[in-house]
Structure 1
Amino acid sequence: MAYEFVCESEAKRYRSDCSNVLKETCELLKEKGISAQFSLVGSGARNMITRNGDGPYDLDYNLLVMKADNEYRDPRLLKDTIRNALNKAVGGKFFSDAQDSTSCLTALLHFKDTPNVEFSFDVAITTKNKNGNYMRLIHNKNVYALGLDQYTWNEVPRSHQVKDKADELKEAGLWQEVRDRYLEMKNMYLSWQDCNHPSFVVYVEAVNEVYNRYFNRGGGCSVQSIF
């Protein structure tokens, strides 16, 4: 099996359902003293949604925590509060309660006419550090400290300018190279059975790799020959 791109028309319905759920989640979090906003991560926002063969596919979202009451300095409490809000938001919408995985929360969509899971969406809890890079909340279930599993904030390297770089690559006519490299890297990590590279991290890596291939540090572009 290998990853392939999902056509935009197929994904449109699910993006709408997820958006409604996450809007409600953010409203519920505001009542709990957490200011957050959600976004479809770069790959999904730019029509680069993938599925593994004929299996189910998912959309990947970042839930960016911008401000929170002091009690949420405890990452365990923060994730539990967000998971409870998400579960409340998905109630009655054919989504199951969110599953707590290592790097995200996953909600599954169930259809009335089939018991098979055909779609899910993953929500990574993120914030930004002083350098502007994204930090992902990770639940290390197999690492024990004082008898408890461990919650940590992991930095996504070189992620602070990924949107600007993506826009520049698109303007330069290089976006197909990003798409190709993104798909190659998704399948590479799949073949390695590497579960530590969710779609957003792979997207950041692909954008940075193609950007560094064509643009120098001064911002000059060396791709005139392709036009």
Structure 2
Amino acid sequence: MYRYVEDKRFVSKMRQFCGSIMQELCHTLKRDWNIGTVFFLVGSGARNLILQNENCPIDLDYNLEFVRLDPSLSEREVKEAVRCAFNKVLRRRGLPDCQDSTAALTTATMSLYRGNPALFSMDVCIVRREPDGTLSRLIHQKNGSVQLDRYIWNTACNSDGLREKVQLIRQSGKWGEVRQAYLSLKNQYLRRNDLYHPSFICYIEAVNQVYCTMTNKTEYVTWAGSLTRK
């Protein structure tokens, strides 16, 4: 079952370690490929909602956002540039190469040299900001052959109004209730072996539960993340 990681010193050092890797990745992309990027810690790591399932590794999620990119580069070339740069950074630290999944580049499990021996890994999602301000993720659609694989930009999950709800909840001193609801939902879907409710959807559901209790509204979130009101 999931539980919150309460070792604040460990969490701080883990974030610092992973942040230094991301910073070096940005520098490598700028130096070797003239690609400008910034990175952001997202997901549970950015919201103080870091969970661990028994002794399984902790996941930290990062967005790598382009701020300067040669428009002549294809999506495949962009993904390969980031993958190669990421592997360079990891190898300098004696770490294995990353794995290229559908929506992210994932590191092998790691641990800090001293202190808490808990294992953790990083998922790096490549994103760009569209003219309307929304984020799109670079998706690698694998079709069984490298030549047949496709690379496309896919609009990120819709979370309209979420920031405003979170702000209201925090101002009302109800953030602890969001933490409780998030933990409960994660364990609920774990018991059901439900693979259709990733962490971000659980977070949206937890925020909406608390918000609806505060405002006496009835709302729910579908698996795709779209908000439906009754």
1:4 has 2:8 as partner: no
1:136-159 C-alpha deviation (Å, 9 max, x unpaired): 222222488x95122222222334
Describe the shift of the 1:82–1:165 C-alpha distance in structure 2 as closer, same or farther (beyond 3 A). Answer: farther
CA distance in structure 1 between the partners assigned to 2:70 and 2:44 by the alignment: 31
**2:128: which partner in 1?**
127
Letter in 1 for 2:91: G
- The share of aligned pairs that are identical, in percent, is 39
Question: Which runs of structure 2 are paired with 1:91-106 in the superposition (5 Å)?
Answer: 91-106=91-106
Counterpart secondary structure, 2:66: strand
CA distance in structure 1 between the partners assigned to 2:209 and 2:66 by the alignment: 28
Once structures 1 and 2 are overlaid, which stretch shifts more, 87-96 or 9-18? 87-96
1:65 has 2:66 as partner: yes
Letter in 1 for 2:121: S
1:181 has 2:181 as partner: yes
**1:52: which partner in 2?**
53
Is contact 1:75–1:151 with CA below 8 Å preserved after alignment? Answer: yes
Letter in 1 for 2:2: Y
CA distance in structure 1 between the partners assigned to 2:201 and 2:182 by the alignment: 10
**Structure 1: gaps spanning 5 or more residues:** 218-227
**Structure 2: gaps spanning 5 or more residues:** 218-230
TM-score by length of 2: 0.76
**1:149: which partner in 2?**
149
1:99-146 C-alpha deviation (Å, 9 max, x unpaired): 111221111226779xx99221111112223332222222222488x9
Letter in 1 for 2:56: G
Counterpart secondary structure, 1:132: coil
Counterpart secondary structure, 2:126: strand
Describe the shift of the 1:67–1:211 C-alpha distance in structure 2 as closer, same or farther (beyond 3 A). Answer: farther
Is contact 1:107–1:122 with CA below 8 Å preserved after alignment? Answer: yes
Describe the shift of the 1:14–1:112 C-alpha distance in structure 2 as closer, same or farther (beyond 3 A). Answer: closer
TM-score by length of 1: 0.76
Is contact 2:29–2:82 with CA below 8 Å preserved after alignment? Answer: yes
**1:39: which partner in 2?**
40
Letter in 1 for 2:86: L
Counterpart secondary structure, 1:37: strand
Larger fraction in strand: 1
